Amino acid sequence: MSGDVDRLFEVISHRVRRSIIESIAEKGPRSFTELMEDTGVGDTGTLTFHLRKMAGFIRKNERGDYELTDLGRRAYDLIKIAHGGVEPRREEPGARAAEAPRSPESLEPDIVYISDSIKVTIDRSLLETVKAQGKRLVVRDVISVDVADDVDAKLFSEVVDSIRDVIRLRVPEHLRSIATLKSRDVLSITTGRFHPGLIPDMGGFVAGIVEPIVSTVSSILESLSTTAGPLSKVEEAKSLLYEWRFPSITGLSLDLSGGFAKVRSVESGAALIRIEGREGRCSYDVDVEDGIVEVDLSGCEASIELPRRPLELLEIDMSGGALNIDLGDNVRRIEGSLSGGLAELKVARAGETRVDLDASGGRFKVHLDYAEFQGVSEVKLSLTGGLMELSATAPEGVRVEVSTVRMGGLASVTVDEKLRNVEKAKALVKARIEVTGGLARVEFSSRRA
């Protein structure tokens, strides 16, 4: 049963897979072509990959169309609840449940939500007001949260239910332990005196958030990116759990829910996967299907070496831990979903690359170094929480077109004039940035000859 629950949340955490479930649930059995149209996935390989990852949630009927299994219908129920749609169905087989719109607040009537804000201050007055109503407080999808010095531990513990998907949380020293226990997907927890009324300008605010996070995690990412020595320094002894060479691969799929992983390109004809861990604290699975190496990690430390040649697919599903990927050649398709943890990705010699990344928490840092290419590269970033940074460099003659849709959170997008105003472009980068929460920072710069 617990395995089904884990897989259920893994499937619905990815935007494309949610779209597949919703399409079949709301329109009935769908063909492969219809699912491509419904989900907006324009590549058969990408859709095939996601359908393969959804085994047990969907199946083919006698006509060859895809339909939901019982587990798939449970996943649809959860998606609808998350969207404020319907309660889980309780009807007899064949009966259709009435779809009564429900908001998150109606699902938890004793909760007061503060969300989708840039800066929130929790002081004694706020907590006493919430307590007087007989309710508890949830703060989520906020860039920066400050807890005032006048808040005592008893009041904070009684009223604050949780603090989720926050970039920076500042608390008084006497609340640090309690606040840590109540935090989920909070990138930086600091202590210090609170100074009310000091709200910096946007530029300073972005820098003030990003730089502490970068300094906090730099030591972890640095340990992941080094080429010599162990992946991280730990006092407890580790054991070599897995080591294998794969002579021919076309892609890599990583599912990381904890631990560390380092991926880099080497001058070799085969891929090498090495996994270390401590007894009772690490689980892993490695498989190969259609040339794609699939690696699932929880609490382990993995070192993955890939041949220095173009990959067809790089897929990342991450809910915790730290990941560093440094590839010396192009990847045709990059699919990434981040709900927690710290991920850094560098791709050299990018070209007609399709990039589709979504984040609901954690920190995702991506750098694309475009080589000379002809054609179109598509980049889509969807952010509902956490921090996503994308920087890209491109040679002269490449035109960059960026469209931004922001319904919450904060977005900073910069495009070099040399890339924006190109009359006779030999290549095009089309980027779409969708932000409903969290912080997105995107920068396209021209590479000097």
What is the CATH classification number for the domain harbouring 424? 2.160.20
Q: How confident is the model at residue 55 (pLDDT cuts 50, 70, 90)?
A: confident
pLDDT tens digits, one per residue of 243-290: 999 988 999 999 888 788 999 999 988 999 999 987 667 888 899 888
Token digits of residue 442? 């995107």
Q: For the full predicted model, state whether its pTM sits above 0.75.
A: no
The reply to whether 101 falls in a domain is no
In this structure, the answer to whether residues 290 and 411 fall within a common structural domain is: yes
In this structure, the answer to whether residues 311 and 338 fall within a common structural domain is: yes
The reply to whether 209 falls in a domain is no
* 169 within 8 A of 213, measured Cβ to Cβ: no
What is the CATH classification number for the domain harbouring 30? 1.10.10.10
In this structure, the answer to whether residues 195 and 268 fall within a common structural domain is: no
Looking at residue 173, the DSSP 8-state letter turns out to be: G
pLDDT tens digits, one per residue of 298-323: 888 999 999 999 999 999 988 888 89
Q: Which domain holds residue 188?
A: 108-199
Q: DSSP for 255-294?
A: EEEEEEEEEEEES-SSEEEEEEE-TTS-EEEEEEETTEEE
pLDDT tens digits, one per residue of 32-52: 889 988 988 776 666 777 787
The reply to whether 223 falls in a domain is yes
Q: What pairs with residue 335 in β-bridges?
A: 315, 356
In this structure, the answer to whether residues 182 and 234 fall within a common structural domain is: no
Closest CA to 260 of 289, 225, 305, 309: 225
